[in-house]
Amino acid sequence: MLNELLASRNLPPLKSRGEMLEILQREVYGFLPPKPDSVSFDVEKDTIRRFCAGKADCDRVTVKCSVAGGEFSFPILATIPNDRTKGKYPFFIHINFRPDNPDRYMPTEEIIDNGFALISLCYTDITSDDGDFTDGLAGVLFPGGKRPADGAGKIAMWAWAAMRALDYAETLGDILDLDRACVCGHSRLGKTALFTAAADQRFAFAYSNGSGCSGAAIQRGKSGETVADIVEHFPFWFCENYYKYAGNEDEMPFDQHYLPACIAPRRVFVGSASEDAWADPLSEFLSCVAASPAFEKGIVCPDRLPETDDKFPEGDIGWHIRPGMHYFSRLDWQRLIEFINLHK
C-alpha cells in the first residue's frame, strides 16, 4: 500500500548523492559558504565546572573563523560528561533557537545521563532570522547585502556554523567519539540539521524534528505548508532560485526526499508530532520511504498508514511520530538516543 501511495506523489527518482546535493544547493538552500581559511577556538576561563550535579563541565567557546576574506566569530557551549573512565562519548551538535543551557528544547542533564556530550549553538548568533543580509556571517559573505540567485540563504549559513562546531569537537578527539556525531534541530533548525548532514559527511547521524516544508517532508501532494507559503513568509531561509517553485511544485527537478537521501550511507532519524499538520507528518514519513533505496538498510515499517506513536528506528533511515504539538520534547530526545544506541 505504501508503494501505491508513494506512486501517487509522482516523485522524481533518486540520483547520486553528488547530483542531489548540487540540485538542493542550487535550487533550494543556496550554496554553502566556503570552508574557512582558518578556524581557532577561545575557551573562556569562567567555564562552569560541576554542571548537572557535578556530572559534566560546560565550556563557553568562541569559534573564530577567517572566511571569504573576512573575519567572523560566534559562541558555542560544550557540555561534556566529566567521568573519564567511561570511554569516548557520542555527542550531539544541537542547533537551537536560544543560547540557554538547559533549554526547553534541550534537556541537558538527561542527555548527559544517557552518556552523550552536547555542543549547542544559538542560530541568531550566526545571522539574524530575517531578510537582513548584512547581519553576522551574511554580511561577511555578501558585502553590501547583495547575494547571487544561488547564494547561501540563512539555513545554509546556520548549517555552516554547525560544521564549525564539529571542527571544535574534532579538537576533543580523546574525549568525544568522532565516529558518532549527530546534528539535530527542530523545525526551521530541523531543516538546517538535515542540510548540514547532507553536506558534511563527518556527521554519522542527523535528526530533524518537525522539519516539515523544505525539510524532511516531500512537497508533491503535501498538506499544510507549501512552497508558496514558506517563500512568502521566510524567503531569506533559501536562495532566490527557490522562489520560482511557489505554486509550481510539479516543476521541481527534485523533491525533499533528496535531502535525507544525501545523508546515506550514514543514518538519519526523522521526528514528527501527531498535531503538527503544518509540517505534515504523512509527507515526512513518505519522504523516508522514498529515500530508503539510498540506504543500505531502508526504513523498517509495516505496509500501512502510520499511526500516532509509531516508531521505526531499525533502518539506517528511521521515523517516529510522537503525540502532541510542534515542539522538541523530551520524548523526541529519548527516541533519538534510542535510535543512535541501536546503530552501534
Please report how close the Cβ of residue 278 comes to ligand GCU at its closest, in angstroms: 6
Using CB under 6 A, which of 161, 204, 213, 317 touches ligand GCU?
A: 213
Q: Is 90 in the site for ligand GCU (CB under 6 A)?
A: no
- Spell out, one character per residue from 276 to 305, where the chain touches ligand GCU: x when CB under 6 A holds, - when not: --x---------------------------
Q: SS3 of 96, please? A: strand
Regarding beta strands 117-122 and 70-81, do their DSSP bridges make them parallel or antiparallel, or are they unpaired?
antiparallel
Least Cα distance to 217 among 270, 176, 178 occurs for 270
Using CB under 6 A, which of 27, 59, 200, 225 touches ligand GCU?
A: 225
Contact 112, 118 (CB under 8 A): yes
What angle, 0 to 180 degrees and rounded to 10, lies between the N-to-C axes of helices 154-170 and 188-199?
60
Active site residues: 187, 326
φ/ψ (deg, to 5) at 134:
-105, -5
- Which residue lies nearer to ligand GCU by CB, 188 or 311? 188
Q: Is 208 in the site for ligand GCU (CB under 6 A)?
A: no
Q: Is 212 in the site for ligand GCU (CB under 6 A)?
A: yes
Question: Residues touching ligand GCU: how many (CB under 6 A)?
Answer: 7
- Which residue lies nearer to ligand GCU by CB, 49 or 104? 104
Please report how close the Cβ of residue 331 comes to ligand GCU at its closest, in angstroms: 18
Write out the H or E segment, with its range, that includes residue 23: helix 17-24
Q: Is 230 in the site for ligand GCU (CB under 6 A)?
A: yes
Q: SS3 of 5, please? A: helix
- Cross-strand bridge partners of residue 186: 209
- Cross-strand bridge partners of residue 42: 62
Please report how close the Cβ of residue 52 comes to ligand GCU at its closest, in angstroms: 27
Beta strands in 89-204 (DSSP E): 89-96, 117-122, 176-186
- Which residue lies nearer to ligand GCU by CB, 107 or 212? 212
Using CB under 6 A, which of 101, 120, 187, 287 touches ligand GCU?
A: 187
How far apart (Å, rounded) are the C-alpha atoms in residues 14 and 257? 8
Site of interaction with ligand GCU (CB under 6 A)? 187-188, 212-213, 225, 230, 278
